[in-house]
Structure 1
Amino acid sequence: MFRNTVDPLFLTDAYKLDHRRQYPAGTTRVYSNLTHRGSRIPGVEHVVHFGLQAFISDVLEDAFGRFFAADADRVCAEYERRVTAILGPNVIGSAHIRALHALGYLPLSIRSLPEGTLAPVKVPVLTVENTHPEFFWLTNYIETALSAAIWQPSTSATTAWRLRTLLTERARATGAPIEAVDFQGHDFSFRGMPGIEAAAASGAGHLLSFTGSDSLASEDWIRYFYPDDSGETLLASVAATEHSVMCAGTRESEDETYARLLELYPSGIVSVVSDTFDLWRVLTHTLPGLRERILGRDGTLVVRPDSGDPETILCGTGADDSPAGLGVVRLLWNAFGGTVNAAGYRVLDPHIGVIYGDSITYDRADAITARLAGMGFASTAVVFGVGSYTYQYVTRDTFASAMKATYVEVDGAGRDIFKDPATDSGTKRSARGRLSVLRDDAGELYVQQRATPEQEAASELTEVWRDGGFLRREGFAAVRARLRSETQRHAARTGGPAITTAAV
């Protein structure tokens, strides 16, 4: 893939190529941090820290490993050729690149909150600084790639965590089994993401909170960057059709297509896209005609509509007793029945179910589960396919994720530095000096600016990588477990719901 051919020296912005000469003479250290500085989502004031270990392994180890293994003359000649082509006559030179190659490792130290931590906005999730005075320029040289690698998986992990928290709350309120929520958010986003690696990383963020996913690339991404021997299930899905299957069976033979699929899958879960032609006919004619076969299976037939307004398709318009007025869930109840749980909410017969996988957002999931409760149904009557409509409609600015320098050393003296644009709202104001992340009496994280050595030693930011090698690596199961623990702690502070079952 792309990562196997990229030149790590150019995993940066072009304007950074000459920053080495722009720092004050005598600069020997640059210390920077990555912080999610704010939130564009009302009510969301924490971000799930995720993706750093993948960046370190992918870029700092794999890509720069190829750089150090290559011939120095060839590396420097190619660097000069490209810089000249980009910037014109090369006054930057390549002596610093040759010196780095001769050193044989990246002289950087990275300290980080443990991945899976719920970091309050404005609290740093990691810091980077150089460990060799000659290579102060490296700290912010890697900013571009580090930012690009971190913001999306962290944002997707936060999006999934927020949805998981909502669905957990609704399951508790309607007496549904909490373990069902592991599969209630199902990742459908792969095809709509901006590239395979972005889809894989985003999908891994989804899997911190859920187990259901069709994004198979995420499993490989996790196994490569977050390997462990826990035996924990990373990802699970079911047999399912698509519109091409239903179209090939023809409109005239749609009933026969359903019958054939039931023969093909005599047990287990099978999901059938049901609105290729006429969803309401399927629900009022085709499925009732197969009722005894469906109820006689050892498994669940899942109906999948994926066009129209999700809330009214699932819950009905309420205008009348027509199929559209009743909606999918009530039509399935009318045809197949079910039970009433201890909390007094209706639960569809386990042989039938429904998933909606188009244009699902947090707000729509909120509205749908609220309406289901109002109709007397447990929240888990519906599974949500969460696609790129949710995971792609975000940017680095969703949580104002940015890496900024806050401390330098020039001529042996430390300088606390910061930015504070007069024309900004305050979001871009950076911290000052060396930083420590500590917990208050309630267990919430906060940042201590201009930290003393003692405060840094007590910081939740601990060194994970130094001078070319990992000091701490974690498997995906550990990151998942930490997010669950963090969610319980967050719930205890705020009175919100906690995720008490694992996505396993």
Structure 2
Amino acid sequence: MNINPILNIDSYKASHYLQYPPQTEYVSSYLESRGGKYADGVFFGLQIFLKQYLCQPITAANIDEAESILTAHGLPFCRENWTYILNKHQGYFPLRIQAVPEGYIIPTQNVLCQVINTDPMCGWLTSYIETALLRAIWYPTTVATISWHCRQVIYKYLLETADNTDGIDFKLHDFGARGVSSTESAAIGGLAHLVNFKGTDTVPALVLAQSIYGESMAGFSIPAAEHSTMTAWGQSREKEAYENMIDTFGGKGKAVAVVSDSYDLWHAIDHIWGELLHDKVTNNQGTIVIRPDSGDPVRTSLEAIERLMDKFGYHINSKGYRQLPDYIRLIQGDGINAESLGHILKTLKNNKISAENIAFGMGGSLLQKMNRDTMRFAMKASYACVAGQWRDVFKDPVTDSGKRSKRGRLALIKTETGYNTIRQEDLKPDQQDELTVVFENGQLTKAWSLETIRRRAQGVIDF
């Protein structure tokens, strides 16, 4: 989406240049998750915003458009400020942005990103970009965090009930493209999920991964049925609809998913899959993935797997849990969120069924069912230079201590007990500031690959 950078704001930002103390030269702001649902989060997505928006200069046409819209909107507009940036900085924002490397797992209530203007004539600019910058970070970071926590749950149950964890990258599939508010949200949120997994049906995320993170193919999918392609055959030919899926997409080493609850899931499993197509499934040399799409997700998953075991058998794995033959699996994609996913896996374990038997699809709960308050994201000014004198800037509302903000220029250090935010001047010679400059005066100064980000999120490397 092409948007005028000057207009990528909340309305009230347009009047703020008149509200700072006279001779305000520099303003430093930071961004953090103040808490919320998760104790820690996966930092991700800033590189998208920097490449797509801040690395693009403003133009004279942008200034003309912004003046026309904002003045008609009832707000002041300082043409001189923007003309100065256009002429002095060739339209690039004179800002320095520091951030933790993408993919880092950082506890909440720590600085994640810090911004300061580099030109004393532009002290107003730091907070001017708050709306766009905060949105660019809170959404992908929240999605990546939800996905990461789901991965931890799945990994736990695989460790406890499966022979190995080799298939974890494909245990949570992104079904969320149709459930988000825009194509851009699908791309950004879908890519955030791909930090932790490699299964997705959100194609815009693949395109974004190529253009921003240099990943030629970030995720994978398989041929899969929807209800219309099954019900178009008619109820009396349900068996033929399923058979066509095997004939068309099956074969050695291949996987195909077939939604099977269009009429009667239990009839489909017991009679069609388990009897009429039994030999075709067992001789397919690939994997048929049965997909329920209705009912209580916990009870449905358990009963479906039990019925599949009745028809196709099972073996006891090295951990003592029942496992279906490799040619048949289940994917539960209806009613899945971080909580129900855990309930399903716990129920399966309690019934001596391995987590290896099931994969999950998550839609709205992965890409849409969250907001800025899920992790209580905020961006606040913390330090300012006025007439050559630096001063702490902070808020400390008596009505809500949880909104107390930090003071000064900040640094993030890693200690034996974890990460900790300190004032920059308190940084000791033997301590490293984990915040690194990623953008300065219109130029991207650090660019991470998706492969590197994935390895960080999985704890494989730490740099």
TM-score category (smaller protein): over 0.9
| Secondary structure in structure 1 of the residue aligned to 2:137 | helix
Rounded to whole Å, the distance in 2 between the matches of 1:208 and 1:234 is: 9
Mapping 1:46-445, distance limit 5 Å: 46-61=40-55, 64-65=56-57, 67=58, 70=59, 72=60, 74-87=61-74, 90=76, 92-103=77-88, 104=90, 105-228=92-215, 233-267=217-251, 268-288=254-274, 289-315=276-302, 327-424=303-400, 426-442=401-417, 444-445=418-419
RMSD value over aligned CA atoms?
1.7
Distance 1:171 1:436 in 2: 38
Stretches of structure 2 that go unaligned for 5 or more consecutive residues are none
> 2: distance between equivalents of 1:266 and 1:434?
59
- With structure 1 as the length reference, what TM-score do the two structures score? 0.88
How far 1:31 moved relative to its partner?
0.1
* 1:12 partner letter: I
CA distance in 1, matches of 2:329, 2:459: 31
Is the 8 Å Cα contact of residues 226 and 475 (structure 1) preserved in structure 2? yes
User: In the TM superposition, what is the alpha-carbon distance from 1:271 to its structure 2 partner?
Assistant: 0.6
Per the alignment, residue 435 of structure 2 pairs with: 461
Q: What is the rounded CA distance, in whole Å, between the counterparts of 1:282 and 1:338 in structure 2?
A: 19
Change (3 A) 1:128 1:433: same
Report the count of equivalent residues.
457
Q: After TM superposition, which residue ranges in structure 1, 4 or more long, deviate above 6 angstroms? A: none
Contact 1:36 1:401 survives alignment (8 Å):
yes
Matching residue's letter, 1:364: S
SS at structure 2 position matched to 1:23? coil
Q: Is the 8 A contact 1:409 1:415 kept in 2?
A: yes
Q: Deviations over 1:343-364 (max 9, x none)?
A: 1111111111111111201111
- CA displacement, residues 170-205 of structure 1 (integer Å, 9 cap, x when unaligned): 000013421211111010011001111111111111
Provide the TM-score with structure 2 as the length reference: 0.95
Residue segments in structure 1 that go unaligned for 5+ positions in a row? 316-326, 490-504
Would the alpha carbon gap of residues 409 and 16 (structure 1) be closer, same or farther in structure 2, given more than 3 Å must change?
same
Rounded Cα–Cα distance in structure 2 between residues aligned with 1:427 and 1:169: 32
1:480 aligns with 2:450: no
Check 1:145–1:371 CA distance in 2 against 1; reply closer, same or farther (3 A cut). Answer: same
Distance 2:250 2:210 in 1: 33
Q: Is the 8 A contact 2:99 2:112 kept in 1?
A: yes
How far did residue 403 of structure 1 move? 0.6
Note if contact 1:79-1:94 (Cα within 8 Å) is conserved in structure 2: no
Percent identical among aligned pairs is: 34
Instruction: Quote how far apart the aligned CAs of 1:269 are.
Output: 0.8
C-alpha contact (below 8 Å) 2:250/2:256 kept by paired residues:
no
Q: CA deviation at 1:453?
A: 6.7
* Alpha carbons 2:162, 2:356 under 8 Å: kept: no
Instruction: Give the Cα separation in 2 of the matches to 1:94 and 1:124.
Output: 33
Distance 1:336 1:99 in 2: 73
SS at match of 1:155: helix
Structure 2 SS opposite 1:29 = strand
- CA distance 1:183–1:464, change in 2 (3 Å): same
Aligned residue for 2:11?
Answer: 14
Distance 1:117 1:295, change over 3 A: same
**1:87 positional shift:** 1.1
